[in-house]
Structure 1
Amino acid sequence: MIENATRQIDRLITVATDTCSVFSDDTTTAHKQKEGLVSDLFPELKNSQNNVQNTEKGDIIPNVNKNKEE
């Protein structure tokens, strides 16, 4: 259910970003607005997105969803 909602939100953000880029000469502004909106809606994903972007092929990504009790 969360994955479906995340996909729907991502589609809405993509449409909004495309619309912003049509009306804005600076497409990086629209991209930064998209990143800001995602991090505002899902602050817990901010670090996990950075982990994925900053890893190279073959790197081991730590499990950010581990139970805190472990």
Structure 2
Amino acid sequence: MDYQQEEYHEELQKVQDRDFTHSWVSSSAFLFYLSIFCLVVFFLGSCFRLYRERFEPLKNVTVQESTQYTPKYK
């Protein structure tokens, strides 16, 4: 009976060593790299959206004559 309990505790310890929630070191490294990955994806996605919907000047815009570079007054 002691042998079975000893074997059970060894297996439990092995599982806990590999488990994400029981190992602070592996979980903090995983969360760090996950946050860096998310920031890079967000940055690249934002750049792509700005590139895709870039500013295109309008062709037919009416401008008041008094606000042009060489204003025309009445």
Using structure 2 for the length normalisation, give the TM-score. Answer: 0.30
> Structure 1 length as normaliser, TM-score?
0.32
